[in-house]
Amino acid sequence: MSQSLVNESEQLDAETPQTIISHALDKYTPNISISFSGAEDVVLIDMAKKIRDDISVFTLDTGRLYPETYRFIEEIRDYYNIDIDVYMPDRESTEKLVKEKGLFSFYNDGHNECCSVRKIAPLKRALDGLDAWVTGQRKDQSPSRSDLPVVQIDPAFGGGELVKFNPLANWTLKQVWQYIFENDVPYNKLHEKGYISIGCEPCTRPVTPGQHEREGRWWWGEATKKECGLHSGNLK
């Protein structure tokens, strides 16, 4: 990471998420987009829309999402009156994977291959042409995110030129939900059924009281490997 970006990250680290988002939008619009999937991302959309109207938002449709998640995407589109660019997996790559390994190969040989086809490839298309993107990652979500900066050069995408903002890096899950309730922000109805971190239906389950939020994702794998590849640069 360049010294100028290191300085920028250090200066922004103590700022509010709203200040970080405002800085990001002012500096990179129109070549910046907010990645949307979960509760944190809707908080970012809510904050961004209160700063300016011309925000860009994208989401990834893996083809394996919960029905509640599809309805949630439309709810956000209508509630904020925004366009949401939906990126889907390549048909040929998906059909090849399913033909060769079936629909649930990830239970046996890990989720990396499936996530590569259904998430990574669409994400690359979503990021193509952007100078920066905004994510809802937090440090306390996973051991692999404990050192997450609020702004960085994306370590996995963009060839060293794509800037990645994580405005909620220093927030806790409690702060996220406090903002949601205080600002009447819509949320995925699966949260009312014990789900905290929500991904694809076969790879997500509710957590019990006392469990970490990411324990409901790829529960058969190691706790330190709970990244689908979208943020693979977090893995040491």
Question: Looking at 114, 115, 200, 228, which residue is catalytic?
Answer: 228
**Integer angstrom CA distances of residue 78 from 97, 103, 181:** 34, 32, 19
At 144, is the secondary structure helix, strand, or coil?
helix
CA distance 234 to 146: 9
The question of whether 228 is a catalytic residue gets the answer yes
Angle of CA points 136, 140, 143, to nearest 5°: 110
Contact 50, 179 (CB under 8 A): no
d(CA 194, CA 210): 12
The Cβ-side half-sphere exposure at 4, using a 13 Å CA radius, reads: 1
Give the pair of three-digit tokens for residue 184: 């009447």
β pairing state of 151-153 and 57-60: unpaired
Cα dihedral value 142, 26, 133, 41, nearest 10: 50
**Among 66, 62, 156, CA closest to 114:** 62
154: tokens are 């994306």
List, by residue number, the catalytic residues.
Answer: 228
